[in-house]
């Protein structure tokens, strides 16, 4: 797991580093009302394109479904963890004791499960995002955009797109959890600011990766295409990336506020305590928020991104009739999906719950 993650991220590290330098040279752009407003001004043109190509909404709905199912799969691991573990962690936090070393093995298992979920989800997410970009490319190269044509074109470089999407999704998920309010948070403001800067340098430095991969480029060349976009169209790239993030921030804040009221309302009608039931309950407001982003905001962003890339880097001719690649990645995806579903539906029969409880009990003894 660590080798795969590091190898892909290190391949694109130069793009992130160069993005930080370009940001410093052009002014430290960030998520502001200005960039969000500038992004909003571009929405009508993208919406007109989406209305002409309804398959984009179809791909967006599928992405929404994938994220919802993935969240449900992730939450399942919390059901395998005994409530006594959460009680012990809470007692330690209330006593202002460090919990970093508690239940280390259990934390590693949860991390492995989380990465497996992200890895499996990233395949269809990469495919449907690439299909959205393909819709723009097909139109730009004089071809008809259809569901079949977009998917076939997206499959031509699915191996690299899956690898990149897995790493990007893991970085995104990690940043989201880092931003959530924490009890007894001792991290300094400078440390948080640095992490946020690195995150946006990654996002801006890899802004052109997906459309470049759809265009048939390798990971290294895709990184170079991203830098070309930043050097020649920095303002447009910054408005696109940070404006999109601004809208996501608004949705996220509204979802956070809504979840507080939702939890208060549902808790009165529920007799199911515990971390697992809390996260399971929170799946509803999270699913709604993800739906807003996936179906209303992200399609616009992907269309505008594909347009920006095609205006900066020449597109290769699209050959829908050629055989798509990615047979190895498809087999691996099916295998990992089967493992994930087997654990989800047959966790007790496979002894997963008993193993997790044994690991938890061993951790509690230290």
pLDDT one-digit tens code per residue, 163-216: 999 999 999 998 888 876 666 666 777 777 888 888 888 999 999 999 999 999
For every residue of 52-85, which 3-state class applies, written as one string?
A: HCCHHHHHHHHHHHHHHHHHHHHHHHHHHCCHHH
Give the integer Cα–Cα distance in Å for 152 and 217.
16
The answer to whether 340 touches 79, Cβ cutoff 8 Å, is no
Residue 365 has pLDDT above 80, yes or no: no
Spacing of C-alpha 272 from chain mean position = 30
Both structure tokens of 175: 């940043």
At residue 26 the predicted structure's pLDDT band, cuts being 50, 70 and 90, is: confident
pLDDT one-digit tens code per residue, 121-142: 999 999 999 999 999 999 998 8
pLDDT value at residue 338: 97
Both structure tokens of 261: 């009221």
Q: Count of domains in the chain?
A: 1
pTM of the model: 0.91
What φ, ψ does residue 282 adopt, rounded to 5°? -70, -10
Number of other CB atoms surrounding residue 216 within 10 Å:
17
Number of other CB atoms surrounding residue 138 within 10 Å:
20
The answer to whether 53 touches 139, Cβ cutoff 8 Å, is yes
**What percent of the chain lies above the pLDDT cut of 90?**
53
pLDDT one-digit tens code per residue, 347-358: 999 999 899 888
CA angle 201, 204, 205 (to 5 degrees): 75
In the DSSP assignment, the letter for residue 324 is: P
Residue 299 has pLDDT above 60, yes or no: yes
**What percent of the chain lies above the pLDDT cut of 70?**
87
Domain ranges, residue 360: 2-181+190-364
Both structure tokens of 31: 């998520």
Residue 96 has pLDDT above 70, yes or no: no
pLDDT one-digit tens code per residue, 300-323: 999 999 999 999 999 988 777 666
At residue 237 the predicted structure's pLDDT band, cuts being 50, 70 and 90, is: very high
By C-alpha distance, which of 33, 6, 28, 35 is closest to 194?
A: 28
pLDDT one-digit tens code per residue, 239-277: 999 899 989 989 999 998 988 888 777 766 555 557 888
Sign, CA torsion 282/288/289/291:
positive
């Amino acid at each position: 797991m660590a080798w795969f993650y590091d190898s892909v991220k290190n391949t694109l590290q130069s793009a992130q580093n160069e993005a930080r330098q370009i940001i410093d040279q052009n002014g430290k752009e960030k998520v502001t009302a200005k960039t969000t407003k500038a992004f909003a001004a571009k929405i009508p043109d993208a919406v007109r394109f989406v209305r002409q190509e309804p398959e984009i909404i179809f791909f967006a709905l599928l992405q929404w479904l994938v994220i919802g199912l993935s969240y449900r799969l992730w939450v399942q691991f919390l059901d395998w963890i005994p409530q006594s573990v959460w009680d012990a962690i809470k007692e330690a936090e209330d006593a202002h004791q460090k919990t970093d070393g508690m239940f280390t093995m259990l934390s590693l298992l949860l991390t492995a499960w989380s990465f497996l979920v992200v890895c499996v989800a990233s395949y269809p997410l990469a495919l449907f995002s690439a299909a959205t970009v393909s819709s723009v490319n097909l139109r730009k190269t004089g071809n008809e955009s259809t569901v079949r044509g977009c998917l076939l074109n997206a499959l031509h470089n699915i191996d690299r797109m899956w690898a990149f999407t897995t790493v990007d999704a893991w970085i995104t998920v990690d940043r989201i959890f880092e931003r959530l309010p924490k009890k007894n948070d001792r991290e300094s403001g400078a440390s948080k600011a640095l992490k946020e800067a690195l995150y946006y340098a990654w996002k801006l430095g890899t802004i052109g990766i997906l459309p470049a991969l759809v265009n048939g480029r390798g990971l290294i060349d895709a990184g170079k295409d991203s830098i070309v976009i930043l050097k020649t169209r920095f303002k447009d790239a910054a408005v696109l990336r940070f404006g999109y993030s601004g809208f996501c921030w608004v949705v996220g804040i509204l979802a956070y506020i809504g979840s507080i009221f939702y939890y208060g309302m549902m808790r009165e009608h529920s007799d199911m305590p515990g971390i697992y039931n809390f996260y399971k309950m929170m799946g509803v407001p999270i699913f709604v928020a993800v739906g807003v982003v996936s179906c209303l905001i992200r399609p616009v962003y992907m269309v505008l991104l594909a347009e920006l890339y095609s205006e900066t880097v020449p597109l290769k001719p699209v050959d829908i009739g050629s055989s798509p690649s990615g047979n190895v990645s498809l087999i691996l995806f099916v295998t990992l999906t089967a493992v994930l579903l087997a654990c989800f539906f047959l966790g007790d029969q496979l002894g997963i719950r008993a193993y997790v409880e044994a690991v938890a009990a061993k951790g509690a003894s230290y």
